[in-house]
């Protein structure tokens, strides 16, 4: 964070909340002219502070509102097994987030499905085909209480 100042942080907060803001709107919010704001945003993108811009979709409306948190134990702890697992998980559309974790499990997946039947099919036919998996534990989400989709700055 050595290359960013308070104005950059303000820009990041604004864009994280609404990435559709124009340079003109951003400039007004942080009290700078258009050109410096444009240059700051470009620099923040180039330096990787802004990874990408995305629309946050409503999973319920898209018939993918059945959310499951799935914990995974690998069969063995080996570098190649871990890499193979990650490679295979990256190809599974239902897995929307994957975390390598410590503790009793090795990975934590956030899975979106249509319903229980879709999830069951996913477990048997997609997760079941991943050789590296030793065991799984599924927790079914009843309600999403908070998801800011952002970084606390």
- The model's pLDDT over 14-49, given as tens digits with 9 standing for 90+, comes to 999 999 999 999 999 999 999 999 999 999 999 999
Determine the Cα–Cα distance for residues 21 and 40; give it in Å rounded to an integer.
14
Res 153 pLDDT > 80: yes
Q: What does pLDDT average to over the chain?
A: 95
Determine the Cα–Cα distance for residues 138 and 124; give it in Å rounded to an integer.
13
> What domains can you pick out in the chain, each with its CATH number?
6-46 (1.10.10.10), 66-140 (3.30.70.920)
Res 140 pLDDT > 80: yes
Closest to 114 (Cα-Cα) out of 69, 61, 72? 61
Q: What percent of the chain stands above pLDDT 90?
A: 93
């Amino acid at each position: 964070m050595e290359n960013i100042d308070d104005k950059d942080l303000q820009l990041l907060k604004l864009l994280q909340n609404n990435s559709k803001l124009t340079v003109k709107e951003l400039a007004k919010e942080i009290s700078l002219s258009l050109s410096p704001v444009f240059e700051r945003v470009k620099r923040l993108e180039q330096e990787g502070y802004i990874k990408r811009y995305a629309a946050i979709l409503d999973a319920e409306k898209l018939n993918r509102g059945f959310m499951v948190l799935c914990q995974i134990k690998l069969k063995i702890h080996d570098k190649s097994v871990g890499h193979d697992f990650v490679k295979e998980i990256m190809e599974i559309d239902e897995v929307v987030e994957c975390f390598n974790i410590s503790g009793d499990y090795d990975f934590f997946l956030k899975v979106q499905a249509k319903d229980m039947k879709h999830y069951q099919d996913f477990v048997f036919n997609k997760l079941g085909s991943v050789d590296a998996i030793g065991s799984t534990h599924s927790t079914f989400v009843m309600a999403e209480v908070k998801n800011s989709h952002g970084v606390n700055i």
